[in-house]
């Protein structure tokens, strides 16, 4: 793959937050695009939640400009650039107001006008001052893409977006369809998502591409042989403490194993709004001596946990608001490290865990079934060997992020070349 010409226009990314420990796939994507020769600028809507970041973030060269976040607290910062923009580009600004009004009428969500103001700020302060910024891309189909869509309209740029999981399944379908209609193309991270978005698009001509996130196979490689394991078994989960991760089901399954006198230690890496609820449940189920919650950890620490684990387990389910996982990256990482994986049939998880081949899937919210399969994977050596070998092979074939980002780069390259031709 030849590097993209240095004369190419800049690709602008609008992000929900940056950097985020739980969104390493985005920072890896940006870094790999830069390594392919793309010039990048980043416009996050929020500052990072953590006070540390992964090493890959430190290698990114792109300039980062944070947008004003709070509508009320930062209203003067948002208002003045929009007044200036309305004077400079009255027709486009009127068009943006009309689009915001139509979208507000559908959902009565005032955030629509905040997104318009953020887009006006972005346009006035950055897009009108940097003529090389010819294409905008939103990461996540909800608020970042709303800002991207308005900024594209106000600045005359083209735009696209990546849709992931919660942003798809908790969005108003009509609002999402409008974004698809106005975008040059859409990228999503699973085939399950692609089919869902095509149903929403309902005949629109906008291309919708499935490109898995992928992982760095050089970083996640099977350096430890996990075929042999013995009690006390070491079980690992990396997940935010939220409803869609199904942690209560997992801990109920672990209680069943405890009652069967299976010796194990379970480690949970991750944090979230349900922390107190989960810790209380662990105590109530009598698992305090068997389970530890480490909170958020760096990739280096997660790698160490992978190397020491006998099984990676997730109990994903569909939350009451429709939120669900796509393919959790940590699941891909565990398989690439040679750690067998067990999860549920929710969403696109069967695209990574091919049942009895690259992993095991069970129906969500069934702790008894999950407990039985956990025990089987730990005690059935031939099955373990099959799953470990199948998991490594599957991730190497389908989840190499360098090949995947190269394919994404081709899509961006074609769009930027099209923009260059139009500008000539």
Q: Cα(97)–Cα(100) distance, rounded to whole angstroms?
A: 5
What per-residue confidence (pLDDT) applies to 52?
A: 63
Q: How many CB atoms lie within 10 A of CB 56?
A: 17
Predicted local confidence at residue 23, as pLDDT: 80
Cα distance from N-terminal residue to C-terminal residue, the chain: 26
Q: How many CB atoms lie within 10 A of CB 274?
A: 17
Answer positive or negative: Cα dihedral of 177, 179, 182, 188: negative
Residues in the chain: 424
Angstrom distance (rounded) from CA 71 to CA 316: 34
> Residue with structure tokens 């400009």?
65
Tell me the C-alpha distance between 148 and 179, whole Å.
10
Kindly list the structural domains of the chain, giving each domain's residue range(s) and its CATH number in brackets, ordered by start: 10-214+400-423 (3.40.50.2000), 233-398 (3.40.50.2000)
Tell me the C-alpha distance between 255 and 261, whole Å. 10
- Main-chain dihedrals φ then ψ at residue 252, nearest 5 degrees: -65, -35
Question: Is the four-CA dihedral 247, 252, 256, 259 of positive or negative sign?
Answer: positive
Q: Is the dihedral of CA 137, 270, 316, 381 positive or negative?
A: positive
Rounded to whole angstroms, the Cα distance separating 126 from 123 reads: 6
DSSP structure class, residue 295: E
Which of 6, 416, 373 has the alpha carbon at shortest distance from 185?
416
pLDDT of residue 1: 41
Phi-psi region of 416 (alpha: psi -120 to 50; beta: other; left: phi over 0): alpha
Strand partners, 12: 41, 136
Given this model, what pLDDT does residue 4 score? 44
- Digit-by-digit pLDDT tens for the chain (424 residues) are 444 444 457 999 999 999 887 788 899 999 999 999 999 999 999 988 766 666 778 899 999 999 999 888 889 999 999 999 999 999 999 999 999 999 999 999 999 999 999 999 999 999 999 989 999 999 999 999 999 999 999 999 999 999 999 999 999 999 999 999 999 999 999 999 999 999 999 999 999 999 999 999 998 988 889 999 999 999 999 999 999 999 999 999 999 999 999 999 999 999 999 999 999 999 999 999 999 999 999 888 999 999 999 999 999 999 999 999 999 999 999 999 999 999 999 999 999 999 999 999 999 999 999 999 999 999 999 999 999 999 999 999 999 999 999 999 999 999 999 998 888 7
Q: Which two tokens stand for residue 245?
A: 């991760």
């Amino acid at each position: 793959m030849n590097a993209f010409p240095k004369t190419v226009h800049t690709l602008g990314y609008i992000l929900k937050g940056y950097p985020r420990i739980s969104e390493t796939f985005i920072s890896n994507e940006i870094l790999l695009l830069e390594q392919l020769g793309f010039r990048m600028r980043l416009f996050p809507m929020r500052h990072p939640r953590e006070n540390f970041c992964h090493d890959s973030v430190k290698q990114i060269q792109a300039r980062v400009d944070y947008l004003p976040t709070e509508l009320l607290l930062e209203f003067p910062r948002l208002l003045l650039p929009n007044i200036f923009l309305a004077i400079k580009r009255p027709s486009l600004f009127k068009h943006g107001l009309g689009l915001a009004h139509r979208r507000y009428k559908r959902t009565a969500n005032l955030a629509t006008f905040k997104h318009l103001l953020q887009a006006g700020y972005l346009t006035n302060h950055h897009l009108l001052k940097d003529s090389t910024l010819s294409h905008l891309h939103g990461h996540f189909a909800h608020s970042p893409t709303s800002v991207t869509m308005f900024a594209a309209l106000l600045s005359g740029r083209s735009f696209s977006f990546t849709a992931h999981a919660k942003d798809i399944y908790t969005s108003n379908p009509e609002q999402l369809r409008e974004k698809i209609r106005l975008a040059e193309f859409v990228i999503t991270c699973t085939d399950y998502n692609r089919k869902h978005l095509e149903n929403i698009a309902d005949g629109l001509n906008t291309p919708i591409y499935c490109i898995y996130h992928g992982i760095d196979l050089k970083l996640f490689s099977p350096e430890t042989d996990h075929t042999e394991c013995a009690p006390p078994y070491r079980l690992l989960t990396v997940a935010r403490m939220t409803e869609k991760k199904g942690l209560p089901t997992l801990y109920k399954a672990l209680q069943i194993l405890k009652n069967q006198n299976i010796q194990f230690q379970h480690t949970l890496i991750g944090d979230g709004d349900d922390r107190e609820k989960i810790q209380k449940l662990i105590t109530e189920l009598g698992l305090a001596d068997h389970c530890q919650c480490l909170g958020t950890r760096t990739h280096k620490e997660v790698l160490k946990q992978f190397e020491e684990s006998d099984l990676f387990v997730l109990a994903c389910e569909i939350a009451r608001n429709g939120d669900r996982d796509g393919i959790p990256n940590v699941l891909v990482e565990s398989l690439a490290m040679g750690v067998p994986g067990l999860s549920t049939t929710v969403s696109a998880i069967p695209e990574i865990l091919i049942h009895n081949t690259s992993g095991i899937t069970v129906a969500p919210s069934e702790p008894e079934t999950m407990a039985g399969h956990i025990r089987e994977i730990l005690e059935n050596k031939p099955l373990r060997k099959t799953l470990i070998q199948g998991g490594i092979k599957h991730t190497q074939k389908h989840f190499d992020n360098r090949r995947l980002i190269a394919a994404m780069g081709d899509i961006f390259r074609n769009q930027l070349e099209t923009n260059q031709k139009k500008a000539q």
